[in-house]
Structure 1
Amino acid sequence: MTTAPHAARPDTTSPSSTAPERTAPGIAALDAVERTSLLTAALRAIESGRADHLYQDPYAAALAGETGLGLLAEVRAATFPAAGARTVPSTPDYNAIRTRFFDDYLQAAAADPATTQIVLAPAGMDSRAWRFDWPSRVRWFELDRPAVLAYKEQQLAGTAPRVDHRSLAVDLTAPDWEDRLLAAGYDPSVPSTWLLEGLLYYLPEADTHRILRRVAAISAPGSRIAADLVNTDALTAPQMTALLAVFADWGCPWLFGSDEPEALFGSFGYTAEAVQPGEPGADFGRWPDPVPPRGERGVRRVFFVHGRRN
């Protein structure tokens, strides 16, 4: 994927929040991968402060904390070097588009009268259960590691989700998370909607396949799934070196990509479609770079994948 040579730096408006930031002793318990959820929250906080924001997340600043803003500063420095043109994707624009894309996706799914359960895995610092109204028939499940959910609960103390919300402290690589989900009220006999956001590129290929297989196994026909994914060139392209080095230095390198996301999800029983940021339905007037045709080789790509269980 080529990059516009004179793309502007992102808006640096200070993040806004409905409440002052709380002290966050729980941050110390988060490992490298878990801390990336604070980066996502920081990006959402900054986006919420922009005049041209694609969404508003009033909880993001408190969830990000100073740690999240520090991580964002490192990503910004790699993305927008002081000398030379940007070569990596604009992380602020990408995250804004991704959040809005999946906002719209989940709301469209929830508008279907057959939708009674939505699962975020992992949940990270996501606040959609708090910032949107959801139909009363929907059960909302959030799965993530114990330290992540403990920190999130601490930061959102005193606020209530606007949905029947069930939080499960589980590791998606553990052998029993399905049993925990069933015990929390998940019904595998009726269609569900799953969102795997900000996850798959941190996992080895075998773990990615294992998670998709396990999700498919407890998803009834007609269930929805959505995820973001990079291609294999995004893991090795010289133009990505600066950004990849940041994540590697944090201890959470990118490990997995797929050049054929539709086929990947198809192998687990889904009919899927993949769209790239900047294409119709995944642009919102914010993607700053050209979008290479799918047939072009040797370019980095990002995909938003969404599909239904056969």
Structure 2
Amino acid sequence: MDTRSYRLGCLKETDVFEVDFPSVLQVKASLIQAAARSTENLGMTAKSLTRVAADIRENDWLEKLQISGFVPEKSTVWILEGILYYLTHSHALQVLKIIADKCALTQTILLADFMNKPSTMLCNSIFHFYSDWPDHLLPSLGFSHVNLSQIGDPDAHFGLLHDPQNLFNKLRNLPRSVHTHPDDGTPCHRLYLVQASGSPNQQIPFSVISV
């Protein structure tokens, strides 16, 4: 559950849009209301929060976002956490291309996580989209700058992954092209954290889109 608009002071001048299924948005709103009743200090830190009921697999989700107040010409941070690998390849690429197209219009930042191919085999009925090389994929769609981290990297260890025997640390020492561990033949399940951006060199205030 995304609570950035309630806990990040850096969003005080930022409009936040949260896109999800209607039923999920209703549950999230109920949980926030319940938390507000039991916590005196719970308050919104973002300039505004707009919940948009839409399915990003459909063709009208961006239109629904704009009807709800999203301004395409306004610089935007798009947050796609825990979503892309649930989509088919065609749907995931469609969403990424729509976001990448905004780079030609205004300053655009994408924050997303990607599974590699072996990770999708953890549950064949749930996970579909993967990319072993998202740092190559995203520039081909229109992003000009891409930074990729693996779990356990210095900028993605979260203060918890210091043990050299940790699974993520073992994977970091293997080329990404390797899909099975040479020591035991187990699949190399990788999760990549990616920040991509593009800009037509104009600087205006940001919106945040959480999907």
TM (norm. structure 2) is 0.75
The number of equivalent residue pairs is 174
1:132 aligns to what? Answer: 8
**Cα pair distance change 1:211/1:135, threshold 3 Å:** closer
RMSD between aligned residues = 1.9
Q: Distance in 2 between matches of 1:300 and 1:282?
A: 16
Q: 5+ residue gaps in structure 2? A: 37-42, 180-187, 200-211
Larger deviation: 190-199 or 171-180? 171-180
Partner of 1:294: 175
1:150 equivalent to 2:26? Answer yes
Q: Pick closer, same or farther for the CA change 1:129–1:274 going to 2, 3 Å.
A: same
Structure with bigger strand share is 2
Name the residue aligned to 1:104: none
Judged with a 3 Å threshold, the aligned counterparts in structure 2 of structure 1 residues 133 and 177 are, in CA distance, closer, same or farther, namely: same
Q: Which ranges in structure 1 are unaligned for 5 or more consecutive residues?
A: 1-124, 237-243
Show the counterpart of 1:215. Answer: 99
Q: CA deviation at 1:295?
A: 4.7
* C-alpha spacing 1:295/1:217, structure 2 compared with 1 (3 Å): closer
Tell me the equivalent position of 2:207. Answer: none
2:108 corresponds to 1:232: no
More helix by share: 1
* Equivalent residue in structure 1 for 2:64, among 143, 167, 180: 180
Match of 2:75 in 1: 191
Structure number with the bigger relative contact order (C-alpha 8 A, sep ≥ 6) is: 2
Provide the residue aligned with 2:157 in structure 1: 283
How far residue 189 of structure 1 moved from its aligned partner, in angstroms, is 1.5
Structure 1 residues 218, 177: CA separation in 2 closer, same or farther (over 3 Å shift)? farther
Q: Which residue of 2 aligns with 1:161?
A: 44
When residues 165 and 134 of structure 1 are mapped into structure 2, their CA distance, relative to the original with a 3 A threshold, is farther
Using the aligned pairs only, state the percent identity: 27
CA contact (8 A) 2:89 2:128 kept: yes
- Partner amino acid, structure 1, of 2:28: K
* Other structure's SS at 1:192 match: strand
* Amino acid of the structure 1 residue aligned with 2:6: W
Aligned residue type for 1:309: G
Rounded Cα–Cα distance in structure 2 between residues aligned with 1:284 and 1:179: 37
Task: Report 1:1-310 matches (<5 A).
Answer: 125-157=1-33, 159=36, 160-163=43-46, 164-219=48-103, 220-236=105-121, 244-245=122-123, 253-270=126-143, 271-287=145-161, 288-289=166-167, 290=170, 291-298=172-179, 299-310=188-199
1:181 and 1:148 mapped to 2: Cα distance? 17
